[in-house]
Amino acid sequence: MTGRSSWLDRRRFMGVLSGLGLAGTTFPDLLWAAAAKKSELTTATIAAAESLAGLEFTQEERELMLDGLRDRAESYNKLREIPIDNSVPPAFQFNPELPGSSRPQAPPRQRLSRPRISTPPDSNEELAYLPVRDLGHLIRTRQVTSVQLTQLYLDRLKTFDPQLHCVVSLTEERALNQARRTDREIAAGTWRGPLHGIPWGAKDLLTARGYPTTWGAAPFRKQELDDDATVIKRLDEAGAVLVAKLSLGALAWGDVWFNAMTRNPWNLEQGSSGSSAGPGSAVSAGLVGFAIGSETWGSIVSPSTRCGVTGLRPTFGRVSRHGAMALSWSMDKLGPMCRSVEDCGLVFAAIQGSDELDPTAVDHPYSWDSHLGISGLRIGYVVSAFEGDPAADIEDPELAARRQEGRRLDLQVLSQLRALGADLLPIELPDLPVDALGFILNAEAAAAFDDLTRSNKDDQLVRQIANAWPNAFRQARTIPAVEYIQANRVRTLVMREMNRLMAGIDVYVCPSFGSSNLLLTNLTGHPAVVVPSGFRGDDNTPVSITFTGRLFGEPELLAVAQAFQNATSHHRLHPKLDPSRQTPAFPEKE
C-alpha cells in the first residue's frame, strides 16, 4: 500500500551523499539532509534529487536554483521549530461531492426488524454472539441486565485475549459504571434506543479520557489524551458501554502492534489483518457487541473479510473524526464493525452527523430502515471482476485453487442476488490509473508523522521491513509537492467518472479484492458494506463480498447488503475457541 521510489535511484543518491560527506543522514525532504544547512546544498545535491523526481536539469539551471533552495531550507528549519500535534489538519480539506451533486433522501424514520429471539438463549456463549438488535431487546425488556452483559464480555475479553491479542486496554471501571447507570435508567422507564446498555470496543486510535490511546505504536504506548473522541461521546449518549480499547496495527497498518500480532479467531495461525485488527477479531470471537474501526485503504474491509464480520465504511465526512489519530486527512473514515448489516445501520445512526470539532463532518438526514428492501433499486456488478481465470499465470497449485474457489464463491453472490429479484446491470469502473494514486496516502501519512521520522523514533516500531511505515515515511519524503497536487487533480477526474457511473445505479457489487475498487472508492469517498459470503474449503476461513453505494447513499446500500445477508447464513456462523489455549505474541517469521 505504499508508493515506492526506485531502489536503484536511492542507491545512486546515497552514493552522492557519501561523496558529499553526508552518509548516514536520516532520509529527509525533497532535498534531504543536505538542505538542512545552506552550506551543504550544492548543484550535485540537486542532480541527485532530480533522479528521484524523474527530471533532468542543466548545470546552468541548477546553479540558478541554488540561492532560492538555500533560502527554502531555512524556511523548513523555521517551520520545524513549531510543534504540530497530530490533531492539527492542513489548511485545506477534501470534499467527495462535486459541484451540482445531489444527495439521496433518507428514510423518514427509524424502523427496526423484529427480534429473532423472545427470551435469553440457554448459554452465555450463545448470548455473547447475539447481534445488537437482539441484545438490545433483551436489555430493554429487562430479561438481561447491562451489568450482566458487560461482565460477560469483560470475562470473555480476559479469557480469550491471550490467544487473540486483540486488547490494548480494558476500560473495566468505566464500563461497569456505565452499565449500572443503564440498568437504573431502564428500570425507571428511560430507554435511549437500540444501543442502550450494549458493550462495545473502540479501535485504539480513538481517544477515551482516563485511558491510554496508543495508536498501536511503541513510541505512543503511554500516551493519554484528555478527551473523548466524538464517536465515543455519541455512543455514550446512545447508552452504549465501552469495555475495551482494541488493537490496531502500528499507526493503522497491518495487525502487528507493539505487544503482539492480533489473531484471526477462525485460524489462530493467521493474523486478523488490519489495521482494524482488534475490532475484527473481538467482534468475530464474541468479545464485544460491536466495535468501531477506521479505514483509509482497506482497514475495515480487510479485517472484516479475514474475521468474517460485517463492516460499514461510510461516505467520507459522514462520521466525525475528532479524537481519532490522523493518518490521511483526505481518506480517513470511521465506521462500525458488527455481526450483521442491521447492527451496522443502528450503530451508524448513532455516530453520524456534523461536528463543530471536525470541519469535514457533514449533516445529512439518516435513519435505519430495516424494511426498505431492494425493490426498485438499480444494482450493478463490475463485469470484469467476475470474469476471466483468476488463477491465470499462477504457478503455485494451492494458490491457484484458492483463487478459483474465491471466484466460485463470488459468482454465487450474483446468483443469490438474482434469486432475490435483482436485475443486475453490467458496469465497469473508471479506466484511469487508480493504482498510481496510492502515494497520496503516503504523502499525507508522512506529514502526519513527520516528527517520528525526523526524531528517529520510527526505529521503535515493531515492523522494520520494506513494506511498513518507517520505510514508507522515508520514501514519502521524496514525493514532489507538484506530483502530489497532480495526483489529486487526476483524483478529481476519477471522482467525475464515478459520478457519471453512479448516476445510473444505486449500488453495485464487486469482489472485495482483486480490482481497483478498494483504492478507488477510498479515494472518491464512496460508502461500502463488506459482508461474509462463504467459507474456503481448505481451511474453513471466511471470504467476503463488497457492496458500494452512492455518496450519502447508505440507506440503499445497507438495504441491498441486508437483503443478501438475510438470504444467507454465513454471518450466523462463529469460530470455536478453546479457553485454555494461548498463542505467542508474534509469529516466528513475519
Q: DSSP string spanning 273-324?
A: -SSSHHHHHHHHTTSSSEEEEEESSSTTHHHHHHHT-EEEEPPTTSB--TTB
Enclosing H/E stretch for 533: strand 528-535
Whole-angstrom distance, CA of residue 331 vs CA of residue 567: 33
Q: How far is CA 140 from the centre of its chain?
A: 32
Q: Is 582 helix (H, G, I), strand (E, B) or coil?
A: coil
Q: Which neighbouring-strand residues pair with 26?
A: none
Domains of the chain: 1-82 (no CATH), 124-431+489-572 (3.90.1300.10)
Q: Quote the DSSP letter at residue 271.
A: E
Q: How far apart are CA 560 and CA 555, in angstroms?
A: 9
> Which 8-state DSSP code applies to residue 123?
S
Cell digits for 49? 534529487
Per residue in 374-429, pLDDT tens? 999 999 999 999 999 998 889 999 999 999 999 999 999 999 999 999 999 999 99
pTM score, whole prediction:
0.91
Instruction: State the CB neighbour count (10 A cutoff) for residue 497.
Output: 16
DSSP category for residue 104: P
Q: How far is CA 105 from the centre of its chain?
A: 26
For 25, list phi and psi in degrees, rounded to 5: -75, 155
pLDDT tens per residue across span 41-99: 899 999 988 888 888 999 999 999 999 888 888 888 888 899 999 999 998 999 999 98
Instruction: Report how far residue 485's alpha carbon sits from residue 321's, in angstroms, rounded to the nearest whole number.
Output: 24
Residue pLDDT tens, the chain, 590 long: 333 333 434 444 444 444 434 343 333 444 444 444 445 889 999 998 888 888 899 999 999 999 988 888 888 888 889 999 999 999 899 999 998 887 666 566 789 999 999 999 999 999 999 999 999 999 999 999 999 999 999 999 999 999 999 999 999 999 999 999 999 999 999 999 999 999 999 999 999 999 999 999 999 999 999 999 999 999 999 999 999 999 999 999 999 999 999 999 999 999 999 999 999 999 999 999 999 999 999 999 999 999 999 999 999 999 999 999 999 999 999 999 999 999 999 999 999 999 999 999 999 889 999 999 999 999 999 999 999 999 888 999 999 999 999 999 999 999 999 999 999 999 999 999 999 999 999 999 999 999 999 999 999 999 999 999 999 999 999 899 999 999 999 999 999 999 999 999 999 999 999 999 999 999 999 999 999 999 999 899 999 999 999 999 999 999 999 999 999 999 999 999 999 999 999 986 44
CB atoms within 10 A of CB 11: 9
Q: Which three cell numbers stand for residue 376?
A: 426498485
Taking CA 110 as the corner, what is the angle to CA 108 and CA 116, rounded to the nearest 5 degrees? 145
Taking a C-beta distance cutoff of 8 angstroms, is the pair 67, 35 a contact? no
Residues in a beta bridge with 256: 261
For residue 200, give every residue at least 6 positions away whose Cβ sits within 8 Å of its Cβ, in sequence order, or none.
235, 240, 241, 242, 243, 288, 289, 290, 291, 292
Which residues, other chains included, contact 136 with Cβ-Cβ below 8 Å and sequence gap of 6+?
193, 194, 195, 196, 197, 198, 346
Which of 370, 326, 331, 324 has the alpha carbon at shortest distance from 351? Answer: 324
Q: Which three cell numbers stand for residue 108?
A: 423518514
